[in-house]
Amino acid sequence: MPGFELFGDLEKKEVNDVLENGVLMRYGFDGMRNGHWKAKELEKALESTFQVNHAQLVSSGTAAISVALAAAGIGAGDEVILPTFTFVASFEAVMMLGAIPVLVDIDDTLTLCPKAVENAITSKTKAVMVVHMCGSMGHVDALKDVCDKHSLTLIEDACQAIGATYKSEPLGSIGDLGCFSFDFVKTITCGEGGAVITNNKEYYINSDHYSDHGHDHDGNDRGAETHPFLGYNFRISELHAAVGLAQIKRLPEILRIQKINYTILREALSHIPEVTFRTVPEGGEENYSFLNFFLPNLETSLKVSDAFKAQGVDACFQYYNNNWHYIRKWDHLKELKSLYPIPGEVKAGLEYLKTKEFSQSDHFIGRNISCLIKLSWTEEEVKARAFKMVEIIKNSL
């Protein structure tokens, strides 16, 4: 991770197909295309790779979440449960629809705690969004049981876990809807882009129409299409889809390299008694894009993180004070700093953030260090990195 580390002739060929015919838009201009439909090809590849009936490409992972929620009929005043540890896009995508993000604790999977989810359900709850952070997954079966019990939509944000599986099922394909991001630093990249996947035909049709101004895409004359309902512009371009089409062909290679590099690092760190690793639910396999481990306490974790930076061990993240990925520093959310008036329902629904404490999340995030696994490392570089990480950790304990 990320896929751009392997850019080459395959990406150039797919992009040149688009540039040669001159059609950058994914819809229309049939006569000019010379048979090239990159977005449609990538959607078919996504359906095959992730074993689902339907895939809809959109402009970003953030857009994918908003489109997925809208496709399931979730909007103004509805509550969506999501974790305290995620990227800011998760709550942004919820709030864009006028829905209310209800943040709850994580557990040692670094994803949603099923008990915390159950305790947060109210009469307004409409969906649970599990965010498969840093390449692995939550307790999917338990979360499905909670959703089934309370008739809630389960949405998988698998933006950081493309290629991971649970009981041989690809992440993103297990819930009612799954969301991917293909931005520049994801496992496979389009530069910018995302996708919604589902086995529910109604949700797919809703996603297809909603992401393109409500167009019904019936026939081959765009000007004659009707608009069954309101929509917005979350389209991907053919150029972005072309890059993604090349990248998805590389996914097995990417996962193979990540697993090799991850395994070398984990094996080295496993000999330190004070180091433990995130829980991967039984039957789950990570995509190996991050190595996540715990140290005994917050102080040690911060000390090790600082030492990593000082001694050139890059791409390792301590999220406790991170303002992109963890609730402690999301002051713009807590204080509702907005360019425009926030809907009254959302404003009232977020009052809890002013006083709510998340001690369980602090316990896990405070002790965690998350290390990105790069595709470009040589075996010698990975081994040298492992040696240095072990040395720093031991000296910090």
- The catalytic residue positions are 186
Burial class (CB in 10 A: 0-12, 13-18, 19+), 148: exposed
| Residue whose C-alpha is closest to residue 381's, from 310, 314, 288, 303 | 314
CA 71 to chain CA centroid, Å, is: 18
Burial class (CB in 10 A: 0-12, 13-18, 19+), 368: buried
Contact 47, 53 (CB under 8 A): yes
Q: How many CB atoms lie within 10 A of CB 273?
A: 8
Q: How far is CA 377 from CA 17, 25, 186, 205, in A?
A: 31, 36, 17, 42
Q: How many CB atoms lie within 10 A of CB 46?
A: 23
Task: Give the integer Cα–Cα distance in Å for 367 and 9.
Answer: 42
E strand or H helix at 380 = helix 379-396
- Measured at the alpha carbon of residue 167, what is the angle toward residues 73 and 141, in degrees to the nearest 5? 50
Strand, helix or coil at 356?
Answer: coil
Beta-carbon contacts of residue 333 (< 8 Å; ≥ 6 apart): 88, 91, 327, 350, 353
Residue-wise DSSP of 162-199: TT-EETTEETTSSSSEEEEE-BTTSSS--BS-EEEEES
Task: Give the integer Cα–Cα distance in Å for 260 and 274.
Answer: 24
Backbone angles phi, psi at 281, to 5 degrees: -55, 145
Beta-carbon contacts of residue 221 (< 8 Å; ≥ 6 apart): none
